[in-house]
Amino acid sequence: MVRKRRKGKPAIWYVYAYRGGPCVLRKEGDRRPALGPAELRAIGDVLDTLRQRETSTLRTLIRQWRSCDPQRPSSPEWERLAPSTKKTWGSALDTIEAKWGDTPLPVWNDPRMVAKVIAWRDSRKSTPRAADIGVTVLRALLEFGRLRSIVTFNAAEKIPKIYRGGNRAEIIWTDDDMNAFLASAAELDMEHVADGLRLAALTGLRREDLVTLKWSQVTDVAITKKAHKRSQGKRLFASMPRIPALDELLEELKGRHRADSVETVLVNKHGRPWTGDGFTGRFNRVRDAAGIAHIDEDTGTRRAKHLHDVRGTFATKLMTETDLTDQQIADIMGWAPDKVARIRRVYVDQSSVIMAIGERIKRSSVNRAVNR
């Protein structure tokens, strides 16, 4: 019920069936109008029509997957998602609902909907990553419906991605990148952000595991904590061995100012734990100020390096400072062995070959000088 005041005239009351719905009563007067049988019946008719319409549209499926009703929980599939995933997927789901919400569910059983989904993806090509996430979320939604016999066909299945930056296996942070970041953090008075970069490079932890790491999870030989990210629907443990360089950093981090009862290894300048988004925002600010980016050798494309790419830096440390095999490193990182092998070829073996060539050139020069 909404009241519209009018200067020198009685107010006008508008009664709507629901927020954003049709008006079922308009009445003048300063007193709040009472709803009679006719108005209540009109509201009931509108709500019945709305329910009938929604039970046959994609919006119904969305509501079953992610509930907006506090009295009814969301599906187990939605509840299993990590909070960060719910945030990203929730935004994409809102976009899907705005685009497809009123589409009757039987339409999604028509294979011609594949072309519609691709056209929708292509219409958002100016933001390719968002376009791909939209298709991913739509695919998960339709799969949820297919498993419950609500739809018989998943029109978003096997649609390729258009974001070419998705494969970042070859991107790591080099020593030059690290030094530039630390210098930029010092200039911006954001050394606490630099702490996070250094810890990530020596542990390989993902962002959420990094900012929530507690001292109780650090042992003499390893870091072990329940991973924030699920793998195949299971919450696994993130276990990282302590390499020698990590010992010195941990001793340094113990000396950081902490507010009472704060147990996290990393803290912000106020001595409080970081939030994931808060750390990422500060991290990206320092990175951009330092101009740190990856340049594709083939295309010349420039892409900002992410915090997640620091995991590759830790992998190279395991390759060069331990005798672990690719399979053992893959198990630690939660990667496939071929990804470890690619990083080894690009950043470790290639450097070793260049060093060996340099040594041979140096020896050859010395021998020529001696024989003259």
SS3 content of the chain, % helix, strand, coil (to 5): 55, 15, 30
- Could you give phi then psi for residue 218, rounded to 5 degrees? -105, 115
Q: Is residue 70 part of a domain?
A: yes
Question: Are 241 and 124 members of one domain?
Answer: no
Strand, coil or helix: what is 304?
strand
| Backbone conformation region of residue 8, classed left if phi is above 0, alpha if psi is from -120 to 50, else beta | left
pTM beyond 0.75, yes or no: no
Residue (of 28, 25, 29) closest to 14 by Cα position: 25
Q: Is residue 214 part of a domain?
A: yes
Question: Are 220 and 288 members of one domain?
Answer: yes
- One-character DSSP codes across 173-215: --HHHHHHHHHHHHHTT-HHHHHHHHHHHHH---HHHHHH-BG
Last residue of a domain, one of 281, 311, 341: 311
- Residue 68 — very low, low, confident or very high, per pLDDT cuts 50/70/90? confident
Ranges 45-54, 59-68, 203-212: which has the least confidence: 45-54
Alpha-carbon distance 313 to 319, whole Å? 10
Alpha-carbon distance 325 to 331, whole Å? 10
Alpha-carbon distance 204 to 169, whole Å? 14
Q: Is residue 326 part of a domain?
A: no
Question: Are 113 and 129 members of one domain?
Answer: yes
Question: Are 39 and 8 members of one domain?
Answer: yes
Question: Are 190 and 281 members of one domain?
Answer: yes
Domain that holds residue 66: 58-166
Structure tokens at 199: 């810890």
Q: Is residue 328 part of a domain?
A: no
User: Above 50 in pLDDT, residue 264?
Assistant: yes
Question: Are 289 and 202 members of one domain?
Answer: yes
Alpha carbon 290 to chain centroid, angstroms? 23
Question: Are 182 and 303 members of one domain?
Answer: yes
- Of 33 and 103, the structure prediction assigns the larger pLDDT to 103
Question: Are 73 and 156 members of one domain?
Answer: yes
- Residue 249 — very low, low, confident or very high, per pLDDT cuts 50/70/90? very high
pLDDT per position as a tens digit, 152-208: 999 999 999 887 654 555 688 988 999 999 999 999 999 999 999 999 999 989 899
Q: Is residue 153 part of a domain?
A: yes
User: How many structural domains does the chain have?
Assistant: 3
pLDDT per position as a tens digit, 119-152: 999 999 988 889 999 999 999 999 999 999 999 9
